[in-house]
Amino acid sequence: MSNHVWRPAWVVLGVVALILTARYFYVPSDFGTHERGFMYGYYRKASEEDWKKIKVKYRTKDYCKDCHADKYEMNMASKHSIIQCENCHGPAMDHPENPQKLAIDKSRDLCIRCHAKLNYPSSRRGELKGIDPDSHNAGMECSACHNPHKPSLEGLK
């Protein structure tokens, strides 16, 4: 073969060798997938204790159900059962210590982000009950008329 083939091949092999050598010196020896395989991706084994010290910001419905059993049961029997409490009530990171009560977002925009009338034929988004936000009680909070924990006709206040 002529030089116009071998020269670029040697350059590519040299670059690959340079990258592998730099990786050997740059990447820590405890970096990898470890016991759990690719479930959590690559991470440093030595940093596990540092990550355990970080407070969990979102805690899911299981955290809420013991103290708020009535709201939890009502929600689980409704069409909103797939939505986590913290989507509307904010993260439970410091609850109940501080603040004593989570701030509840009662803004219309919170409901409209799912319930604005959108017809997407290729997804299930069009199956959600939607409204025209400009004509359906414009300027009012949705929770003034609707109970978000029991979103149905009998859930009207």
Q: Is residue 14 part of a domain?
A: no
Spell out the residues 6+ positions from residue 144 whose beta carbon is closer than 8 angstroms to its own.
Answer: 137, 157
Q: Is residue 16 part of a domain?
A: no
Q: Is residue 144 part of a domain?
A: yes
Q: Please give the single-letter amino acid code of residue 123.
A: S
Q: Please give the single-letter amino acid code of residue 94.
A: D
Total domains present in the chain:
1
User: What range does the domain containing 146 cover?
Assistant: 60-155
Q: Are 84 and 58 in contact (CB under 8 A)?
A: yes
Q: Is residue 39 part of a domain?
A: no
Spell out the residues 6+ positions from residue 103 whose beta carbon is closer than 8 angstroms to its own.
Answer: 89, 90
- What value does the mean pLDDT of the chain take? 82
Q: Is residue 71 part of a domain?
A: yes
Q: Is residue 82 part of a domain?
A: yes
The encoded tokens of residue 135 equal: 């004509």
Q: Is residue 98 part of a domain?
A: yes
Q: What is the pLDDT of residues 62-111, one digit of tens each?
A: 888 888 899 889 888 888 888 888 888 878 877 766 556 666 778 888 88
Q: Is residue 17 part of a domain?
A: no
pTM of the model: 0.55
Q: What is the pLDDT of residues 120-140, one digit of tens each?
A: 777 666 677 778 888 888 888
